[in-house]
Structures are given as structure tokens and as C-alpha cells.
Amino acid sequence: MRLIGNLIWWIFGGLESAIGYFMGSLALCFTIIGIPVALQTFKIGLMCLWPFGSEIRSSGSSLGCLYFPLNLLWLVCGGFWAFFCHVLFGFLLCLTIVGIPFAKQHFKLARISLAPFGKDVVLKF
């Protein structure tokens, strides 16, 4: 079922959304300062590419106290808009019974779009 869900997701906008995240990640990699943010954008792009069967876990990284300021900077510089868009599409998809599984994936993407630092995406094929 994951494969079918992901194929339908790709056809109806998931592939374009993932490409957008990957292009944003590539643009951020052109600057040295943007590389940590590019890694987070790439992580969200991967999850947007394969949302059914993926999960978000807390990372065991040693950054510790840096997560809060990095997530705050992320939120101010565009993370809020990504979060808002995923929540909006999630609510719109909840209007139909068929759209509820896709709305759940948007809410999952909204959760990682709000604060991606300190989280890892685990893809299950």
C-alpha cells in the first residue's frame, strides 16, 4: 500500500514539491553559510518524495543546545511558510474521505517543516 500511496502522491504534486525542496537545497549549497540549512531542506525533500512509510525520529547528534537557535532561525527565514502551506493543504485534503491519508502526510511534513534541526527522517521501502 505504501508504494501505491507514494505513486498517487507523486502524480498529484508530491514529485513537484520534492523537486522544489531539492532545488532550494541546491541553491542554499552555493553559500557556505547555507549548507546546514540545505541539509535540512534536503531532508524534507526526501520525506516529501517518499511520505508513506517514512517517519520522523529525534536524532542522536551532539549539537544539543544549538537546535533551538537554529530552528528559530529556520522558522523566521521561511520555515513558517512551509509549515503553513503543509497545514493548509492538509486541512483541504481532510474535506474528503479519500484525501485523509494524504492529509496525514501533509501534517507529518508540517511537523518537520516547523523545526527540522534535531530530527532525522527514516525511509521504509
Residue that is written with C-alpha cell 541553491 in the block = 27
| pLDDT per position as a tens digit, 60-69 | 766 677 888 8
Q: Taking the CB of residue 34, how many other CB atoms lie within 10 A of it?
A: 15
Cα(116)–Cα(90) distance, rounded to whole angstroms?
Answer: 19
Query: What would the pLDDT profile of 76-123 be if each residue is shown by its tens digit?
Result: 888 899 999 999 999 999 999 999 999 999 999 999 999 899 888 898
pLDDT mean over 42-54: 92
Average pLDDT, the chain: 90
Q: Is the pTM of this model over 0.85?
A: yes
